[in-house]
Every structure is written in structure tokens, then in C-alpha cells.
């Protein structure tokens, strides 16, 4: 890894294939649908496309339960379609980034079917099996991420197997070198096909503790979060360095790791010259509202200064070593306007979305845009829990009811945090089903598609889509925004976030009013005088500045070149 690796200078777009574009009119997105929209992404300024899993799968968890790592699920198309996608993207200067799920497989994977057959077969320890406690109950009291025990009893084998997520997603035993060798083999299969990199799902779960013991429970079910026992365990870096040496190091690619459990101070161990991955997907800024116990129905209050502290701490370590994946949305999170600014900001229109776009794309790292984010798509409020598909939403709803919430309170928690908020079909036009498909989609379309859609954005020169385009171009043209150090100004200000990005040749200033009111932002006369050139802003008519303050409109963002 060097100072000017190509993946540090690009913008990445995330595609959730099932909801992106349906080319064969069966109500579900597919690979040909992605191919159909490559020009749209190229025009935005995208140079890499991360696609969520499209492998052969029973689809219990929307493809994160894989039964064949070398086959494409017919719902998405064929391997020929995948080869065409890689080729057509390459012709447009874009690389395809695959989603790798290495902590677990499907319980329909041939490896697991063989492993559960007996305690003596060749794959007997490819997964994590344990005997019951003397009373016949599960080996430990760990709660899976999707709810319920993280252990499921298999009658055929007469033992429990561990699954950090759904029961249909048994965890692989990374302590077995044969398992690791098999993983490296199918990683190489995709590298030889010409993919440009990998996003590694739940990778910090792969190392299990030396001893499996009960933990203090944190809920009425008497269980404790499995993450306490399996996230970022000692010894995980040994596995990861071996994988890197055997696969990634042999190709010109980038890797981005989903890294829950990795604190900011450990970033240099996971990325940078001595690290394992090109960049990390951090979670602290995403999880602020749900608290450490991850109960949607017990939201945690937070302030802008809290967010500043979290992001600035991460940026501090990125300044010194390593790299970060910059994002506010993905397929596992609600929409950013709702999460960070609230309902009032949704009503304010695109100005609030432009504020958030300015804020995160100009930090130090590689920016990721999630499908529909460039349109200003927002959370959906389905009228009933029956309309939701997301496993987490269903489990959180049941937990909320079990712990005393009313059905309406439980549903409102789902409205706010559901993963289905980001999985509603992409809104391409104001036509039936938002132009996503001619058939009823697998998940309900957001009713605001008649005004929030790509067709309308492309017709409006002042749209959010074109604002993202400007941000991407600004970042490409500015060395300070690509490589300059981040520095926070006025960390205690409750409404305004101001920061600089500086390198030896250039200094840029970003000022952001996160509130829905007019704010007088106090600043030194030197700063006002130095900020002589407004490079980008999200309002057409700025209020006049004075010697010791800047007057900022609600949700106003300004980017200055500093003398």
C-alpha cells in the first residue's frame, strides 16, 4: 500500500442487486439490470461498484447464506451475465467489487451437509460443534445477532452448532487449516475472473474464543449478545494476514472490511502498511442511536458533538496510518437523512441531503454512495410488520413486544431502524413501481417515488445527483481532499461542524450547519478573511459574513479554498 493507491482516489457505489433494477420483469433485481444502468453510474463519477451477494443461496438472509461460492443464483442471472458485468464495467473505467461472506455459509452448503452427517467424516470439524450442557440445553447462553440462541441442535449429529446470525447460517471453523485453504481457493477463483476487490462481511466474527462460557445476560430471554464472545478476538489478525498473503497480495485490488468490534485506535493494525485490508467499514457513527445492547425500541439520545467526537477520533487515526470507508448508508442501515437530521430535514428537501453529502464525502477516506442516496431516498413507514422482509426487523419487533412495548411502539422502532428502509426498490421514475420493474416488486416501493426518482433528478441541474457529481469531481481535483489531514474546528459547537483538510500545497475549509435554524457561527477574523474562495455550497443566496462570524442558513454547507 502506498500514499497514492488508486482506490484512495475514487468514489464507490453500492448496489443491492435485488432492489436495484429488474431487467427480466420478475419483481426482483438482477445482473442485467445493473448492466443496463452502468452509464448512469459512470456519469455520476463512480469508478467501483460493490454489489451485495449474488451467489447461489436459499436466500434466507437475502444472499448472505451461501451454498455455492462459484455459482450465481438464478434470480440474479447466470455466470455469463456476471462475466458481462465485469467486462462492461471495465469498458467504462469501473471495477466490480464482490461481497465475500467468510464467517458462515448456508446450512444447505455441501460442506455443512457433510459435516453434520457424522462425527467422523472428512468435514466433521469444518463448523463449530459442541455437546449440550448436562441438562441438554445449549452449550452457552449466547444470543444470535438476529435473536434467539446462537446454538441450534442437529438431530442427525446429536450436537449443537454455532451460528452468530440465523440458524440457517452456521459459522465456519477458521481454526481448521483445510477450511481456510478452501476459502482461499474460491477467493482466487473470483480474482482470476477480474473483480476489482472485495467487501468482507462480518469478518471480525471469524475468530472464536478459546473457551466457550456463559456471559451475563442482558435481556428477559436470559441470553447475552454473541458479539461479546466472538467479535475481534485475540488471534484474528493471524488468520487475516495469512488470507491476505495467500490471495489479495497477488492482485491489484482493494479490500474493505466490515469491522464491528474494532475500535478506532486499532485501525492501524487492520489497515495501512502493516495492516490487512485497504480500508475498514466502521460502525460507531452508525450505531449511535441504538446503544450498546442494540435494542431498537430503547433508542439512545445523541448530539452533534457526540458524532463529531466519534468521527474525529477515527479521522485522527486515519491521519496517522490506514484508510477509512466513508459512508452514511448501506443495505444494513436506515436512510441517512432520517437518521442524522430527522423528519424536519426530510421536509426541507434536498438541501439537507446535500449537507450530509458534503460532510462525509470530503472526510479522509474513500466515499461510498449507497443506491438511492444520490436521489435523497428516505425511510419507509409500512403500515404493518407483515409488510417487512428484514429478519432483524421481525426479531426486534417480537423482542419489543416481549419486553412490554405496544404493537405501535414496536412498529415505530422498526420504522426508524429497519434494514428494509434501504432495501426498498430503487426509484428510477414516476411510472408504475418506480420504474424498477413492470411487475409487483419483492418489497414495497416507497410512496414518494412520484417526486423522488432518478428521472426527475437528471432533468434538474440543481439536483442532489448533480451535487454528488460535483463533490466527486472536487475530491478528484483537490489533493487536500484526497490526502490532506483532517482537523476539527470548534468541537463543542452544538449546531455547526467545521473542519479543514490540509496538505503541503493546499488547505480546504468545510463548514456545515446541521440545524434547522439560522446560526451565527463565531470565527476569527483571520479565518473569515482567509476563506476567500467559495468552491462549493448548497444554497444559492448566502447571507453576508461579518468580521467575527458567519451567518449560516438552515442545513447550509460551504466549502472554501483557504489562502
Residues 521 and 504 both lie in one domain? yes
The verdict on residue 261 lying in a domain is yes
Task: Tell me the three state secondary structure of residue 289.
Answer: coil
Q: Output the pLDDT for position 219.
A: 84
| Residues 291, 410 within the same domain | no
Clarify whether residues 330 and 266 are in a common domain: yes
As a whole number of angstroms, the distance between CA 178 and CA 105 comes to 15
Closest CA to 359 of 399, 397, 329: 329
Domain for residue 148, yes or no?
no
Q: What is the pLDDT of residues 371-421, one digit of tens each?
A: 999 999 999 999 999 999 998 999 999 999 999 999 999 999 999 999 999
Q: Is residue 83 part of a domain?
A: yes
479 is a domain residue = no
Number of domains in the chain: 3
Residue where a domain terminates, one of 375, 399, 417: 417
Range of lowest pLDDT (13-22, 88-97, 336-345, 530-539): 530-539
DSSP 384: S
pLDDT over 70 at 525, yes or no? no
Q: Retrieve residue 236's grid coordinates.
A: 484474528
Chain segment 107-141, per-residue pLDDT in tens: 999 999 999 999 999 999 999 999 999 999 999 99
Q: 254 - beta bridge partners?
A: 197
Cβ of 554: how many Cβ atoms within 10 Å? 19
Secondary structure E strands in 68-222: 68-72, 95-101, 129-130, 142-143, 151-154, 159-162, 197-201
Rounded CA separation 66/452 (Å): 34
- Domain residues for the domain of 253 are 6-105+176-383+426-470
Mean pLDDT of the chain: 95
pLDDT at 156: 96
Residue 151 in any domain: the answer is no
pLDDT tens digits along 471-486:
999 999 999 999 999 9
**Angle formed at CA 111 by CA 102 and CA 155, multiple of 5 degrees:** 110
Q: Is 507 inside a domain boundary?
A: yes
Q: Which pLDDT score, from 0 to 100, does residue 321 have?
A: 84
Residues 282, 388, single domain; the answer is no
Give residue-wise pLDDT tens across range 489-518.
999 999 999 999 999 889 999 999 999 999
**Nearest CA to 18 among 53, 42, 68, 47?**
53
Is 448 in the same domain as 510?
no
Residue 283 shares a structural domain with residue 263: yes
Does any domain span residue 120? Answer: no
Checking if the pLDDT of 427 tops 60, the result is yes
pLDDT of 362 reads 98
Q: What is the DSSP letter of 390?
A: -
C-beta neighbour count of 511 within 10 angstroms: 24
Per-residue model confidence as pLDDT tens digits over 292-327: 678 899 999 999 999 999 999 999 999 988 899 999
CATH of the domain at 459: 3.20.20.80
**DSSP code for 300:** P
- Is 388 within 8 Å of 423 (Cβ atoms)? no
Q: Are residues 368 and 517 in the same domain?
A: no
Q: 29 and 73: one domain?
A: yes
Residues 398 and 544 in one domain: no
Beta bridge partners of 133: none
Distance between start and end Cα atoms, the chain: 32
Percent of the chain with pLDDT over 70: 98
Same domain, 496 and 410: no
User: Residue 130 falls within a domain, yes or no?
Assistant: no
Residue 372: predicted pLDDT: 98
Cα–Cα–Cα angle for 369, 374, 376, rounded to 5 degrees: 120
Beta-bridge mates of residue 206: none
Whether the CB-CB separation of 376 and 350 falls below 8 Å is answered with yes
For residues 206 and 342, membership in a common domain is answered with: yes
Same domain for 367 and 510, yes or no, is no
Query: Which residues are known to be catalytic?
Result: 201, 258
CATH label of the domain that carries residue 551: 2.60.40.1180
Q: Which helix (H) or strand (E) holds 408?
A: helix 407-417
Amino acid at each position: 500500500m502506498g500514499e497514492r493507491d488508486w482506490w484512495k482516489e475514487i468514489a464507490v457505489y453500492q448496489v443491492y442487486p435485488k432492489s436495484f433494477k429488474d431487467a427480466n420483469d420478475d419483481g426482483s433485481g438482477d445482473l442485467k439490470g445493473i448492466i443496463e444502468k452502468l452509464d448512469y453510474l459512470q456519469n455520476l463519477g463512480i469508478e467501483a461498484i460493490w454489489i451485495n451477494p449474488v451467489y447461489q443461496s436459499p436466500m434466507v438472509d437475502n444472499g448472505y447464506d451461501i451454498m455455492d461460492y462459484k455459482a450465481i443464483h438464478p434470480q440474479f442471472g447466470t455466470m455469463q451475465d456476471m462475466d458481462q458485468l465485469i467486462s462492461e464495467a471495465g469498458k467504462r473505467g469501473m471495477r466490480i467489487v464482490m461481497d465475500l461472506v467468510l464467517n458462515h455459509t448456508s446450512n444447505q452448503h455441501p460442506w455443512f451437509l457433510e459435516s453434520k452427517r457424522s462425527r467422523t467424516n472428512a468435514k466433521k470439524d469444518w463448523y463449530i460443534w459442541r455437546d449440550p450442557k448436562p441438562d441438554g440445553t445449549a452449550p452457552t447462553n449466547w444470543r444470535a445477532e438476529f435473536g434467539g440462541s446462537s446454538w441450534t441442535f442437529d438431530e442427525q449429529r446429536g450436537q449443537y452448532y454455532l451460528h452468530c446470525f440465523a440458524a440457517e447460517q452456521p459459522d465456519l471453523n477458521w481454526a481448521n487449516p483445510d477450511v481456510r485453504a478452501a476459502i482461499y481457493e474460491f477467493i482466487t477463483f473470483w480474482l482470476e475472473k477480474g473483480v476489482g476487490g472485495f467487501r468482507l462481511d462480518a469478518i471480525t466474527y471469524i475468530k472464536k474464543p478459546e473457551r466457550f462460557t456463559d456471559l451475563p445476560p442482558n435481556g428477559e430471554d436470559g441470553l447475552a449478545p454473541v458479539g461479546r464472545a466472538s467479535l475481534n478476538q485475540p488471534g484474528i489478525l493471524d488468520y487475516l494476514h495469512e488470507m491476505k498473503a495467500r490471495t489479495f497480495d497477488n492482485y491489484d485490488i482493494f479490500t474493505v472490511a466490515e469491522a464491528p468490534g474494532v475500535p478506532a485506535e486499532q485501525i492501524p493494525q487492520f489497515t495501512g502498511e502493516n495492516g490487512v485490508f485497504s480500508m475498514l467499514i466502521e460502525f460507531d457513527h452508525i450505531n449511535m442511536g441504538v446503544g450498546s445492547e442494540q435494542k431498537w425500541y430503547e433508542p439512545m439520545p445523541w448530539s452533534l458533538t457526540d458524532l463529531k467526537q466519534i468521527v474525529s477520533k477515527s479521522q485522527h487515526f486515519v491521519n496517522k496510518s490506514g484508510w477509512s470507508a466513508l459512508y452514511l448508508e448501506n443495505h444494513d442501515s436506515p436512510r441517512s437523512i432520517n437518521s442524522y437530521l430527522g423528519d424536519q430535514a426530510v421536509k426541507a428537501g434536498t438541501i439537507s441531503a446535500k449537507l450530509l453529502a458534503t460532510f462525509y464525502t470530503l472526510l479522509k477516506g474513500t466515499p461510498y454512495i449507497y443506491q438511492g442516496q444520490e436521489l435523497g431516498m428516505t425511510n419507509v413507514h409500512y403500515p404493518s410488520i407483515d409488510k417487512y422482509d428484514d429478519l432483524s426487523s421481525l426479531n426486534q419487533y417480537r423482542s419489543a413486544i416481549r419486553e412490554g412495548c405496544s404493537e405501535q411502539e414496536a412498529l415505530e422502532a422498526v420504522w426508524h431502524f429497519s434494514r428494509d428502509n434501504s432495501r426498498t426498490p430503487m426509484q428510477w421514475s414516476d411510472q408504475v413501481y418506480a420504474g424498477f420493474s413492470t411487475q409487483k416488486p419483492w418489497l414495497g416501493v416507497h410512496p414518494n417515488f412520484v417526486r423522488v426518482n432518478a428521472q426527475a433528478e437528471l432533468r434538474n441541474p440543481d439536483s442532489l445527483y448533480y451535487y454528488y457529481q460535483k463533490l466527486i469531481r472536487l475530491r478528484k481535483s483537490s489533493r487536500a481532499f484526497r490526502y490532506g489531514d483532517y482537523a476539527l474546528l470548534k468541537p463543542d459547537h452544538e449546531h455547526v461542524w467545521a473542519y479543514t483538510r490540509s496538505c503541503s500545497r493546499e488547505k480546504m475549509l468545510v463548514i456545515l450547519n446541521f440545524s434547522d435554524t439560522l446560526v451565527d457561527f463565531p470565527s476569527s477574523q483571520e479565518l473569515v478573511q482567509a476563506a476567500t474562495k467559495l468552491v462549493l455550497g448548497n444554497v444559492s443566496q448566502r447571507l453576508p459574513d461579518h468580521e467575527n462570524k458567519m451567518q449560516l442558513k438552515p442545513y447550509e454547507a460551504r466549502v472554501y479554498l483557504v489562502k
